[in-house]
Amino acid sequence: MRSIRQVALDTETTGLDVKLGNRVIEVAAVEIVNRQLSGVHFHRYVNAGRDSEPGALEVHGLTTEFLADKPAFPEIARDLVEFIDGAELIIHNAAFDIEFLDAELALAGMQPLSHYCGPVIDSLALARELRPGKRNNLDALCEAYSVDRSGRVRHGALIDTRLLAQVYLAMTRGQDRLVIDAAPAERLAAAGEADLSTLMLPVLAADAAERAAHEARLDAIDKAVRGTSLWRRAEPAPAGAATA
């Protein structure tokens, strides 16, 4: 079967508004293959050639002095787009990061982000759909889905992408089933009809030890209810008989 490759991505910037000349100063991406973190990641600090605004600096702590010897964005742009090539991107509040990355790619004389990647999933929009009316920032989602964020002292693109990847997998853990209950019609239509003709599901028979443990458990239940257990009273179905 074809591997499904996704990439969780995050940036840190000098401020919140790209129209005011704010720039990307850190970008990170974490690979997910077939719903498993692969351990492969992309991470670069970037010298934006300007100071961070005070509010942004308080969040990420990346000083102009620390970034002074780091490469400019055009020097890392090709490596970034090669890493995300064709992958489905997972970005929290995607519009923000995409606007900044598109601006940086344009300054580097390159195409917008969508030219290099597959579809983009906005995990913030997904969280709001699953948890309407609740706080859905990354900290709140880590708490809701029991993702350990103890190592997150400050915002940082690499640690945030690793947390985001785990949160996304937790939010969508039911979507690897063959049937997706109560999915919005538009999402099903966009996904199309899945081809399951080559899908082979393993059939695992209980071994002798497991069968013995099962019988022992039924014995204990039967004893506890003084011989009225329905499991012991029911007649076994004939081999090959249809069941409801």
For residues 2-24, average pLDDT? 95
Q: Is residue 193 part of a domain?
A: no
Count of CB atoms situated within 10 Å of the CB of 76 = 20
For residues 30-39, average pLDDT? 96
The 10s digit of each residue's pLDDT in 52-82 is 999 999 999 999 999 999 999 999 999 999 9
The 10s digit of each residue's pLDDT in 159-192 is 999 999 999 999 999 754 443 344 444 444 444 5
- pLDDT for res 80: 98
For residues 185-208, average pLDDT? 63
41, 60, 115, 155: the catalytic one is 155
Looking up residue 82, the CATH number of its domain turns out to be 3.30.420.10
| Position 149 confidence tier, pLDDT thresholds 50, 70, 90 | confident
The closest alpha carbon to 111, from 123, 99, 102, belongs to 102
Q: Is residue 190 part of a domain?
A: no
For residues 34-48, average pLDDT? 97
Number of domains in the chain: 1
Question: What's the CA dihedral at 218, 222, 224, 229 to 10 degrees?
Answer: 110
Domain range holding 10?
Answer: 5-175
Cα torsion angle, 150, 151, 152, 157, sign: negative
Q: Is residue 244 part of a domain?
A: no
Q: Is residue 234 part of a domain?
A: no
Q: Is residue 194 part of a domain?
A: no
Q: Is residue 165 part of a domain?
A: yes
The closest alpha carbon to 217, from 200, 197, 232, 196, belongs to 232
155 catalytically annotated: yes
Write down the H helix ranges in the chain: 54-60, 64-67, 73-84, 94-107, 123-130, 138-144, 157-171, 185-191, 208-224, 230-233
State the first-to-last Cα distance of the chain, in angstroms, to the nearest integer. Answer: 32
- pLDDT for res 237: 52
Q: Is residue 205 part of a domain?
A: no
Q: Is residue 216 part of a domain?
A: no
